Amino acid sequence: MLGSAAAASASSCKRAPVAGRIVGGSEGVGHLLRTPPRLGDVSRVEEVPIVIVGGGPSGLAAAWRLRMLGAPRVALLELEPMLGGTSTYGTDGVVAHPWGAHYLPAPRRDNTPLLALLSELGAVVGRDADGEPVFHEEMLVRDPEERLFEDGAWHEGLVPTSLATSAERAELERFHALVGELAGTRDGAGRRAFDLPLARSSTDPSLTQLDSISMDSWLTQRGFVTRRLRWYVDYACRDDYGLRVEDASAWAGLFYFASRVSRRGVEAAPLLSWPNGNGRLVEHLARDLGEARRARLVVRVTPTDDGATVLALDPATRAVEQLRARQVIVATPRFVAARIVEGLAADRADALAAFQTGAWLVANVHLRARPRSRGTPLAWDNVLYESPSLGYVVATHQTHVDDGPTVLTYYLPFTDREPRKGRERLLAASHAELAGLCLSELGPAHQRLEPDVERVDVYRWGHGMVQPRPGFLFGGARARAGSPLGAIRFAHTDLSGVALFEEAFFHGVRAADEAFASLYPDRDFTRWYA
């Protein structure tokens, strides 16, 4: 991906250097996990009932749920100064802007835990006649929601009917009909074929066997051959998984569409978003952490007879602390958990080896004025037809201010068949190369873009998202890797196989309920995700 386009970008950068920087990711300290330093004597020992390792959405959801349950003394350990993991955000522009996940499909009435969070946030304002939640208009993505750049101009929607051939329109209609049928499918236990969170989906073999083939194979088997339909589905797989259709599980590909539709003939759930994307959600989850939040690099988590010990390094002083906990929730990606949890890698080597994560480039382009272009006006989501990137979202869109300075958040997944290769290229690239790559793609879609650029900041996500390749979702690795190890419980989107906020939230709440029930067996409470 950093090939000829990057070379052209780099040469243009030499003519006109782009201001900006590489931000985020404490790689220098984090890479101590590969070869831990000589830690010396522990300087401090502390007893803490529950320790949470990781301050991404899963860890924050666990802390939020434990506060709700009244758990005393929880410690949340996170190395990064900014909480949120891949839902983190920036605040140094004309408006806050995402560095990762940037929207949430509106949940249905049966997702009680997530609706409780959104109600606290003020996003739920009532219920309709069917009991479905009604969301605050200011938090729903407003029009124009999306547009597509094709043939030198912007067009409304991702699949403009004015540009589609009759064959393409027929295939799009047939595809959405099949998605509607799957969305309305229930198994013998009444479970939806595809549901959010994923753990509520049907496990009927007639459906889970879709995980054994690629989305490309599924499309071919059903005679979907038109260029536009295949681009549309490929875009969806890259959007949520960082995978091309030939490398994505068919179950995952269909899950993207069917989990957001309640039944045939009904439109997909509307989207909730904020200027800083899902950073608004993690901001709320983290608001009452107080002293529970500690900036620490966790070096080792060791099971004991009565709980677990957590060895942590203060990156500022290099002092070593030991926390003795009765319950530990490890809310980190699998590759991190394997390095820090003693005995985990040896106990579950085959399962852990099945997890693969893809690299992502996210660039925030700070502009003095809104970009000018031909065709449909600037939308929230702006996609380039048949581009390797996903295009960009506009951070100021939800502010209802439609002129003046703005921030464009550009997303580029590295879709290598071997994720390591993409990760190596991304991490080896300079700011000039990455910023140039972004602008070389956005430039042709706009008029006089670069003169209005103040700076381009880039974030290199080496392990951005777990990838649901064929055979992974229902091959047993997820369940094996996520089962408790004594008093150590695990929570992360990795355990769902799809990197969505809903999944991170689910695992955080689930692990919190499990830890609380184990710690306080006499307390009566309802487990939200039983």
Is the same domain home to 378 and 322? no
- Residue 113 lies inside a defined structural domain of this protein: no
In 3-state terms, what secondary structure has residue 48? strand
Average pLDDT over residues 423-443: 96
Tell me, what's the pLDDT at 266? Answer: 75
In 3-state terms, what secondary structure has residue 496? coil
Tell me, what's the pLDDT at 8? Answer: 41
Q: Which residues contact 514 (CB under 8 A, 6 or more apart)?
A: 484, 489
Average pLDDT over residues 109-134: 95
- Residue 346 lies inside a defined structural domain of this protein: yes
- Residue 145 lies inside a defined structural domain of this protein: no
Q: What count of Cα atoms within 13 Å lies in the side-chain half-sphere of residue 428?
A: 10
Q: pLDDT tens digit string along 368-391?
A: 999 999 999 999 999 999 999 999
Average pLDDT over residues 215-226: 98
Is the same domain home to 303 and 244? no
Is the same domain home to 338 and 200? no
Mark which of 269, 302, 319 sits at the end of a domain: 269
Token couple for 447 = 């008029």
Is the same domain home to 402 and 332? no
- Residue 284 lies inside a defined structural domain of this protein: yes
Mark which of 246, 269, 292 sits at the end of a domain: 269
SS3 content of the chain, % helix, strand, coil (to 5): 35, 25, 40
CB 443 within 8 A of CB 317: no
Is the same domain home to 67 and 203? no
pLDDT band with cut points at 50, 70 and 90 for residue 38? low
Is the same domain home to 187 and 222? yes
Is the same domain home to 195 and 239? yes
pLDDT of 3 higher than 90: no
Mark which of 424, 445, 466 sits at the end of a domain: 466
- Residue 203 lies inside a defined structural domain of this protein: yes
- Residue 504 lies inside a defined structural domain of this protein: yes
Is the same domain home to 348 and 485? yes
Is the same domain home to 349 and 492? yes
In 3-state terms, what secondary structure has residue 1? coil
CA distances from residue 168 to 221, 453, 496 in whole angstroms, order as listed: 17, 37, 33
Number of domains making up the chain: 3
Tell me, what's the pLDDT at 529? Answer: 86
pTM above 0.85, yes or no: yes
- Residue 187 lies inside a defined structural domain of this protein: yes
- Residue 299 lies inside a defined structural domain of this protein: yes
Tell me, what's the pLDDT at 12? Answer: 42
Average pLDDT over residues 62-80: 95
The CATH number given to whatever domain includes residue 316 is: 3.50.50.60
Which domain does 74 fall in, by range?
A: 47-88+278-355+470-519
Is the same domain home to 295 and 256? no
Token couple for 44 = 């401090």
Rounded to an integer, what distance in angstroms lies between the CA atom of residue 84 and that of residue 286?
Answer: 9
Is the same domain home to 166 and 310? no
- What average pLDDT does the structure give for the chain? 93
The CATH number given to whatever domain includes residue 199 is: 1.10.405
Is the same domain home to 326 and 407? no
